Structure 1
């Protein structure tokens, strides 16, 4: 284990930091909305390999009163996409596939209208695929899996634009990427994530979850504020689609994920360069997109939003500084809070 990871593991294990009390107080003010008998959050702040903040706020489960903690597992939603992208990059490193492989090579049942779409296009949301959420039946009663997304797209004979000519955020593209991982590796997506990412990094409580599969340890349940009351809204008909948002993890494990990007322990230097390269502009002129990561100024980040959960990871790699904020509620959106927390440590206006 590298010195970086040893230091981080020790800080997480003992919960000790040398963070000034004024900074902790400022963070607690920013996290006030998550405190008390309400759906909560787990917050991690890493500076130079040390967890300067690692704590839970509020409740992971309202019904039992179980508090949120550093080992609480939240559904990551679209933060999952960086793990899907990393899986593809690992297979590129293995020589099993190429970023410029046509998607038809791996998923030949897709219609001719998808000719020209490559793995690279799916990674960068430039494939032009129709959103599967818009074409699934409104009467769907059984949660979709990634294979069901493929079936929906097999019957679609249109795209939003020719591949590579524009950007449109695509959950379906990342769902298809999980199926490519399965085809190229000969393993289920869940097994690939576990064997190639989670276990090598020591993320022992992280998993891609589906009903009927292994249970989520220390699980947070999702809630939405409806008519002034917090109501459990933990799963939807798209919650079992894994490639675009099905991973559960904790800030304890996300600390290990963050640390992996400072060395060659998981991805090679070239793969990390590819992941964080600003390949395309997005629908926000201040944001570009890599492979599962948004790039804004000096930050590399991604948010995740699904029924009952809102999360974000924001990395400042040149400063060796990261904020991870995982929440089990539909509001507020945590990205701005994470930036404000970063300001407490880095200084206002230095993002």
Structure 2
């Protein structure tokens, strides 16, 4: 019923920001989501920014458009966009080995000593790291097919450059190379290239004391409250705090290509690898699938890419316990939607919200693991390839 209301609203006013008889609160209730924020971009301009529900359920504190929320892996997309400015200025060669920038071999640094004796690290380039083709797991403490192990060594589980495998470890390595090899402070880079130019006044790569008065409590799948982490170190893979207002400004800048030459912007969005895994997580070992062949699902320099009925599209999600975020942009029309939440349940709403704001996109929701709230039968079922095409034929 709620999904049909959303679709009816979209049909009544082609691709509206959000309908006047806003169904989102009812949708949140159905999906058990305490707090949600949505921004809509049309033709490269932010036209709607709304917040719903609570940032703190126990205290009944409302979520607002200026509430500081955890960006999670939306940080990666921002980091990649900032790096493309260095590409424009010939300060970063996407296809050069990281060995050309580091003053000493990577395994000579304590953090990467596990790679001693494995020369494959020299094959790594910014291109491979940004497009998640490093061969590393998501993080070294999550070895493929095993439980969390904080003593697990860093190692290659796939030959570098051969296959997509989402890796925050690879993104953090690129930050290490930028800082150690080029002497560029990533915190300052983000401030100078993104936060200041795009009016992101309540965004930071680390915790700021002025965030304390208005920030989110997260809620996991069981509804357990999770205090907002006060991150003290910059992590390109996911340390950013931001607001729906601020990150919407960034998404609008991204879809316009602000700050980059046309050639470099095209490079940022050019798919360099096709994705054939049935789902994004686990990052390795999952079976291959043809589910997303019809939309040419792939990855570019920091964002996922696919072919929508309205042309090329790019996207990035962000997930942690008590945090669900995503943005999707259509390149030709420069229409986007950004969704951020303090709930692990929120991603179950994402497919419906995308369709309500952007129309039919053929977004690969099953690959992302966004099981719709109204399809509970899919939860806990075995992941079977070629069963959930992103854009099934009618």
Per the normalisation by structure 2, the TM-score is 0.70
Task: Name the structure 2 match of 1:261.
Answer: 254
Task: Name the structure 2 match of 1:148.
Answer: none
TM-aligned CA deviation for residue 33 of structure 1: 4.6
- Give 1:177-192 correspondences, 5 Å limit: 177-183=174-180, 186-192=183-189
SS at match of 1:310: strand
TM-aligned CA deviation for residue 269 of structure 1: 1.6
Match for residue 132 of structure 2 among 121, 125, 128: 125
Task: Name the structure 2 match of 1:344.
Answer: 356
* Distance (whole Å) between structure 2 residues aligned to residue 199 and residue 185 of structure 1: 22
* Distance (whole Å) between structure 1 residues aligned to residue 260 and residue 23 of structure 2: 36
Shift in alpha-carbon separation, 1:240–1:328, aligned structure 2, 3 A: farther
Task: Name the structure 1 match of 2:3.
Answer: none
In the alignment, structure 2 segments of 5+ residues that lack a partner are 1-14, 108-114, 279-289, 364-394
- Give 1:163-202 correspondences, 5 Å limit: 163-183=160-180, 186-202=183-199
Is 1:222 paired with 2:214? no
Does the 8 Å CA contact 1:56/1:68 hold for their aligned counterparts? yes
* Distance (whole Å) between structure 2 residues aligned to residue 289 and residue 247 of structure 1: 22
- Give 1:64-79 correspondences, 5 Å limit: 64-79=59-74
Match for residue 142 of structure 2 among 112, 119, 134: 134
* Distance (whole Å) between structure 2 residues aligned to residue 21 and residue 175 of structure 1: 37
Does the 8 Å CA contact 2:40/2:357 hold for their aligned counterparts? no
- Give 1:224-243 correspondences, 5 Å limit: 224-226=220-222, 229-232=223-226, 234-235=228-229, 242-243=235-236
* Distance (whole Å) between structure 2 residues aligned to residue 192 and residue 102 of structure 1: 22
Count of aligned residue pairs for this structure pair: 312
Task: Name the structure 1 match of 2:84.
Answer: 89
SS at match of 1:77: coil
SS at match of 1:58: strand
Task: Name the structure 1 match of 2:94.
Answer: 99
TM-aligned CA deviation for residue 34 of structure 1: 7.1
Map Cα deviations across residues 189-219 of structure 1 (whole Å, 9 max, x no partner): 2222112211011111111125xx6553632
In the alignment, structure 1 segments of 5+ residues that lack a partner are 1-17, 141-151
Match for residue 301 of structure 2 among 291, 304, 329: 291
Map Cα deviations across residues 59-99 of structure 1 (whole Å, 9 max, x no partner): 11234322111112211111111112123212222222200
Match for residue 55 of structure 2 among 30, 54, 60: 60
